[in-house]
Amino acid sequence: MENPTHNDQHYVFVYGSLREGESNNYIVSYSKHLGEKVTKDSYILLSLGAFPGLVDTSVKRLQEHKKTLQKHTAKVKGDLYKVNSATLRSLDQLESNGSFYQRKLINLKDFNKPVWCYFLLEPLNYLMSYYLASTKDGVYDWKTKSLVKP
């Protein structure tokens, strides 16, 4: 996948507290909001209390649990932003990129470029202890704040 950078601009998909109207949106509020989007692939969205965490079940360390986890996967709804490098660094700092979350490239429906998205770095620590955000029409939407037990 190509790097989603063009002239100091980066595409970032946010699905939780960074979304429009949520507590951390101020970090991207001066960036270009490109609207609500949905992921092309399915993931698990966990509630970690005040914020969610996205889990990619295709990562190697989750392969032995893939069959069990697959029933909890769905597309994820979020907001797409075009941000500059300074804002991306601020996002990396907020998300503790490399220690709590890991930023990686994903694809969205109806958007033809790869975008950055933050995933839980060690999801096995959280999978059975936290609630899963429930789906509406087969799509996870953190803004609904609707939770179900794992």
Domains of the chain: residue spans and CATH: 5-136 (3.10.490.10)
Which of 2, 20, 95, 122 is catalytic? The answer is: 95
d(CA 38, CA 15): 9
Q: What is the 3-state secondary structure (H, E, C) of 74-91?
A: EEEEEEEEEEEHHHHHHH
> Roughly how many angstroms between the first and final C-alpha of the chain, as a whole number?
32
Q: What is the pLDDT along the chain (150 residues), one digit of tens a residue?
A: 445 555 689 999 999 999 999 999 999 999 999 999 999 999 989 888 888 999 988 877 777 777 777 778 889 999 999 999 999 999 999 999 999 999 999 999 999 999 999 999 988 877 766 666 767 777 888 888 766 655
- The reply to whether 95 belongs to the active site is yes
